[in-house]
Amino acid sequence: MKTRMWINLLGLALLLLTFPALHTMRTAVHSERVFHNSRVSPIIFIPGSSASQDRFDDLFQTFNHPKSKHSILKITVDTKNQIHHQGVIAARDRQPLIVIAFQNNHDGYTNIAHQTQWLQTAMNYLTNKYNFNNFYAIGHSNGGLNWTWYLEKYFNSNNLTVNALMTIGTPYNSLESNFKNQTAIFRQLYQHRQKLPHNMIVYSIAGTTNYENDGIVPYQSVEAAKYIFQKQVRKYTQITVTGHESNHSSLLANPEVARLIQSNILDSNLNNPNIKKP
Amino acid sequence: MIKNYSLNLLQTYRRLTLVLQKIYPLVLIDAYLRLIQCNFLLPNGFLNTISHLGRPNDWWVQNFNHAVQLYEILILFFMGYLLTEYFNKHSQFLLGFCTILILALVCFNSGRDPHNGILAPPLFVIVLISWIVARLFSKLPGKVLPIITSLVSGSLLNQINLNTLFMKLPGISTSSHHFNWWVILPLTVIRNGASWLGMIDPFMAAKQAINSPAATANLATALSQKTLNHVPHPLNSHTIYSSYAFLGGIGCTLGLLIALYLLHQDRLVLENLIPSTFGFNAPLLFALPLYANPILLIPYLLSPLASMLIGGLFIQLHWAQPAVYQIFSGTPSFLINFLGTNGNWGSLIATVLAIGASTIIYYPFIKYEVSHENQNVD
């Protein structure tokens, strides 16, 4: 009888192991998940004004040709701060392409301010859901303004690393061709430029069809980026593309721009500051 | 003639049973040592991790591992010695010595991988060697000739053992993406049958590692999606075979232990409760004994199948999630699925049902064994 009591006691003790075991397992899985996902480094695109989440479809096709290498996730934040998503990130994709678009995609200072807030919502959603800790940012036109503003105002470099920012035809001084006429958006970005992440690499691509502008955005407005980024970030490079497909809205179809993204962003894992070389 | 032969076989079996039961206490100690080794000395040991103890230093770990290995070899030598003695009518010290000599030569790893140390032969081989020595060597005249014969045959067998011919049994291929019940069930039967014959190292613990492509793909998905409902391969050799066919060790012997408990075999249950829960069932296989036991073969083959089918059904119907995460080494087997799914209650229920099913399967056979044994004693 005494033996039986011991069996029952021991059995109970073994069953009770379930709870500390579960607790430890949860912790272990959590840290493994964080470790796993820190290897994911998405490339996040923001379209310019009046463009939807499908703005980059053609560009993505060139990246995924001839072999589909990157999964695509599209997100639109509506005016009520709600997130609508389309597409999935494949489990083992380390470089997914993500588009963040806004239902209110209009131009203008207040609209851009709102969009930047919505961008913050989208970024929180993405980092919580996919646990990545570093990413690449690409913005076309006003998308570049959203990124810059976000990086200055909302971005927390303790939780997240932005490896590189590439803006394509972004009007840093709105549509002003004379730099002496500083616009509200430029002043906003210039004032807080010291809050930019210092380890970031920035590329600003300008397109010109003549000697002055790309049909919409004046060359001087794109060039104004130097006052914001130079001496603030690790590297600031400005690139000008001309010739066929160099006007403002066709810049994304320009094979040279695609090549610049490919070589500076997609293939730049070797330059990833997160991967420290021994 | 035939009657004589079968009588002889029965006698041999009875003697084998006796020896296995004599060895049992030694194997029981070994199971506890193995449990300590798995749980405390490995970096991701179960008890070590959940109690947040640090890992002891390498010097201790290495010496402990060597000591356990040596201890196991000595058990096997002793078993060979006893078997030779029991198989021969007039017990002679010389013959026992010959068996040990052959076994020592067989174990000796002179080959390519010096780090591996000792290569233990399976039980089946030990029984065979002991029987041959007891029956044939006794006919050799003098003392020198048997010893020379032992040396020669031992070195020959050593070569065979080095090529791990004894060990190369139909394993379960885990590299296939496609899970096929018609492959996995017969293979499980063959594998368990082989272990019933003593063809698999009894001291080897069932390892649960995630290394097949399907299991790795599942793990990657689970890590990036936070849910186990959309893993690409819900049924694979890992989620079914490794997770459900080893509840309590090979042959799902946790059910056997519960059957013993229900039949009031209290001492045996108490001794084996901890090792069996952690998946070390070698002492249980020696004590009954289950090795080469024709009655217990049936439930030994059936209960893993029932367990796997229950697990498969639960996963297929989405009542339970498939085990995906890497669990700690030496995790108690009733927690393999629960922890492997990071705490899915459905899979815990499936595990409990699977253990229940194997209890039901073992019960009548154990009942017969127990009553039979009592008769023998009377």
pLDDT number for residue A79 = 92
Distance from CA of B262 to the nearest CA of A (A): 11
Q: Which of B104, B134, B162 is the last residue of a domain?
A: B162
Residues B300 and B357 grouped into a single domain:
yes
Q: Which of B133, B162, B191 is the last residue of a domain?
A: B162
CB pairs under 8 A between A and B: 79
pLDDT number for residue A165 = 95
Residues B245 and B343 grouped into a single domain:
yes
Q: Find the closest chain B residue to A18 by CA distance.
A: B335
Percentage of chain B lying above the pLDDT 70 cut: 87
Q: Which among A4, A89, A131 has CB closest to B266?
A: A4
pLDDT number for residue B345 = 92
Q: Name the residue with higher pLDDT: A273 or B281.
A: B281
Q: Using a CB-CB distance cutoff of 8 angstroms, which residues of chain B are in contact with residue A3?
A: 266-267, 270
A115 domain residue, yes or no: yes
- Distance (Å, whole) CA A54 – CA B11: 82
Domain span at B371: 181-377
DSSP for B262-311?
Answer: HTT-HHHHHHHHHHHHTT--HHHHHHTT-TT-HHHHHHHHHHHHHHHHHH
B174 domain residue, yes or no: no
The helix/strand/coil state of B56 is: coil
A202 domain residue, yes or no: yes
Number of domains in chain A: 2
Q: Which among B49, B50, B267 has CB closest to A3?
A: B267
A278 domain residue, yes or no: no
Residues B191 and B338 grouped into a single domain:
yes
Distance from CA of B49 to the nearest CA of A (A): 7
Residues A253 and A122 grouped into a single domain:
yes
Whole-number mean pLDDT of chain A?
88
Residues B153 and B203 grouped into a single domain:
no
Residues A72 and A142 grouped into a single domain:
yes
Residues A160 and A45 grouped into a single domain:
yes
A252 domain residue, yes or no: yes
Whole-number mean pLDDT of chain B?
84
B39 domain residue, yes or no: yes
* Phi and psi torsions of A168, nearest 5°: -120, 115
Residues A89 and A182 grouped into a single domain:
yes
Residues A17 and A114 grouped into a single domain:
no
Distance from CA of A137 to the nearest CA of B (A): 21
Q: Which among A10, A25, A37 has CB closest to B342?
A: A25
A29 domain residue, yes or no: yes
Vertex B229, ends A60 and A22: CA angle to 5°? Answer: 120
Residues A73 and A87 grouped into a single domain:
yes
Does residue A128 sit at the B interface (CB-CB below 8 Å)? no
ipTM of the prediction: 0.83
Tell me which of A19, A25, A30, A92 to substitute to probe the interface with B (most B C-beta atoms closer than 10 Å).
Answer: A25
Residues B215 and B125 grouped into a single domain:
no
B272 domain residue, yes or no: yes
Q: Which of B129, B162, B195 is the last residue of a domain?
A: B162
Residues B150 and B187 grouped into a single domain:
no
pLDDT digits (tens, 9 = 90+) for B319-346: 999 998 888 888 898 999 999 999 899 9
pLDDT number for residue A278 = 31
Distance from CA of B35 to the nearest CA of A (A): 14
Residues A136 and A245 grouped into a single domain:
yes
For helices A2-16 and B266-277, the axis angle rounded to 10 degrees is 10
Residues A235 and A124 grouped into a single domain:
yes
A59 domain residue, yes or no: yes
pLDDT number for residue B96 = 87
A130 domain residue, yes or no: yes
Q: Using a CB-CB distance cutoff of 8 angstroms, which residues of chain B are in contact with residue A40?
A: 224
B9 domain residue, yes or no: yes
Residues A33 and A94 grouped into a single domain:
no
Distance from CA of B52 to the nearest CA of A (A): 9
- Distance (Å, whole) CA B157 – CA B107: 9
Tell me which of A1, A15, A19, A29 to substitute to probe the interface with B (most B C-beta atoms closer than 10 Å).
Answer: A29
User: Per-residue confidence at A49, pLDDT binned at 50, 70, 90?
Assistant: confident
**Which residue in A128, A182, A187, A115 sits closest to A154, CA to CA?**
A115
Residues B335 and B365 grouped into a single domain:
yes
pLDDT digits (tens, 9 = 90+) for A100-158: 999 999 999 999 999 999 999 999 999 888 878 889 999 999 999 999 999 999 998 77
Would you call A6 and B49 a contact, using CB atoms and an 8 Å cutoff? no
**Which residue in B201, B75, B76, B73 sits closest to B126, CA to CA?**
B76
Distance from CA of A44 to the nearest CA of B (A): 18
Number of domains in chain B: 2
Q: Using a CB-CB distance cutoff of 8 angstroms, which residues of chain A are in contact with residue B224?
A: 33, 36-37, 40, 89, 91, 130-131
B175 domain residue, yes or no: no
Q: Find the closest chain A residue to B327 by CA distance.
A: A25
Tell me which of B32, B47, B48, B223 to substitute to probe the interface with A (most A C-beta atoms closer than 10 Å).
Answer: B223
Residues A13 and A90 grouped into a single domain:
no
Residues A59 and A8 grouped into a single domain:
no
pLDDT number for residue B364 = 95
Residues A2 and A51 grouped into a single domain:
no
Q: Name the residue with higher pLDDT: B136 or B27.
A: B27
Q: Domain holding A152: CATH number?
A: 3.40.50.1820
pLDDT digits (tens, 9 = 90+) for A237-263: 999 998 888 889 889 999 999 999 988
B169 domain residue, yes or no: no
Would you call A3 and B220 a contact, using CB atoms and an 8 Å cutoff? no
Looking only at the bridges linking them, the beta strands covering A201-208 and A235-242 are parallel
Mean pLDDT score, A92-104? 90
Domain span at A29: 1-37
A276 domain residue, yes or no: no
